[in-house]
Amino acid sequence: HDFLTHSSGLPPLPSLIFAMADSLREDPTISMFGEKAADALDTHPPLRTYEELMDFIAKQDFALLGRPGRYFSYSNDAYGLLGAIIERVGGEPYEQYVMRHIVEPAGMDRSAFKLDCLPGGAELTQLYVKKPDTEAVIAAPGWWESRPMAAAGFLRSNVVDLIRYMEIYRNRGKVGEEQVLTEDSVRQMVTPYMDSGMGGDYGYGLMLTANYHGFSLVEHGGGIKGVSAHVTSVPEAGITGAALANLGGVPSSQALTAAMNILLGLPLASRRFAQQDYRYLEDHLASLTGMYPSGEGLLPPTKIVIGEAGLEAHLHPKVYPVRMIGPYQGIVEMYGPQDEGMPITFLRNDMGDVFAVAMGARMMLKKDLEQS
């Protein structure tokens, strides 16, 4: 339950990098993900099995973010380990289990974990990345792979198949006439267990919004090199949607939300939560500043500082304004002030001091700027 709801207390760890190491080494665009990205791969052998992943996590020097069930922090490690559990209980490789019990019954015939398992004639997109210094978009051949992290999001698909998959949550476990999941399983998955921040909740592998202008949303999204993805289902309106881009860092979720707004009869710019400006005194803003490192990626820590125009988030290699919309809550305006942006919440301890930030679905502990 704690793994499924990202509430185990595991902090962001570098496991995924080493679990993808074999494909990262073959990637000609690896330098786009940080000047020292290639060098980082030499600090630990590749993780190729579940046992190696477990051993790696066990040897990491970290403290839990809190007791299990206390905090929400997205954990690829937790889902990688869930894949190991499914494999042990199911008695067959995780990928085969998912294909046999979900992908094939749902009629998702253009989806596979391995590209060479797609049917003959299936068209495959070209992946692209942005050069961090010039914003130029260049082709980025090569798909990242990871056997021990397969359950964390390595199924390749298209919008048609993703819509078929999301029908499971719109239609009580059915895709067409096929009962892929039981109604009870669907109910468990769409039960809100954890507050994921900014008015949203998290079920089992799904983001939930109970009241989106009178509608309920069942969603998920994410990205990896050359991919930005988002899926949404609005059960009571009978609507399911998916958005895919073959470029990382694209606001697919906002594009899909705008399309759903049209179908739901809402204003195009309707948002998930109110965004009224909240005025902070500068000395109060100073309590939010600091370095917030994540062990998960190859990039430097997020830095929150006070700039000329107010609070800023330094997300390598860019700087974005942070607009405060409530006490200890703000929006990182990554795509301009008219977009929904990335929610950011500053978490306080029992003494009232900010000790962590929740951003990008991750919880990252604070370090003072002077210590960094």
Alpha carbon dihedral 53, 54, 60, 63, in 10-degree steps, equals 130
Transcribe 316-368 into DSSP letters: TTEEEEEEEEETTEEEE-SS-TTS--EEEEEEE-TTS-EEEEEETTEEEE-B-
Q: Looking at this protein, which amino acid is placed at residue 167?
A: E
Kindly report which listed range (94-103, 155-164, 315-324) carries the lowest average pLDDT score: 315-324
pLDDT averaged over the chain?
92
Please check whether the two domains, 1-122+138-156 and 282-371, share a CATH topology: no
pTM above 0.85, yes or no: yes
How are the residues of the chain apportioned to helix, strand and coil, as percentages rounded to the nearest 5?
30, 25, 45
CATH 2.30.40.10 fits 282-371, yes or no: no
Q: 221 and 252 in contact (C-beta within 8 Å)? A: yes
Average of pLDDT values for 13-35? Answer: 88
The answer to whether residue 132 scores a pLDDT higher than 90 is: no
Q: 213 and 264 in contact (C-beta within 8 Å)? A: yes
DSSP state for residue 220 in the 8-state scheme: E
Taking only the tens place, the pLDDT of each residue in 184-226 is 999 999 999 999 986 799 999 999 999 999 999 999 999 999 9
Delimit the domains of the chain by residue range: 1-122+138-156, 158-273, 282-371
Rounded distance, CA 127 to CA 141, Å?
A: 6
The phi and psi torsions of 347 (rounded to 5 degrees) equal -95, 140
In this prediction, residue 337 carries a pLDDT of 65
Taking only the tens place, the pLDDT of each residue in 155-194 is 999 999 999 999 999 999 999 999 999 999 999 999 999 9
Q: What is the CATH number of domain 1-122+138-156?
A: 3.40.710.10
In this prediction, residue 338 carries a pLDDT of 66
Please report how many Cα atoms fall inside a 13 Å half-sphere around the Cα of residue 104, on the Cβ side.
10
In this prediction, residue 366 carries a pLDDT of 95
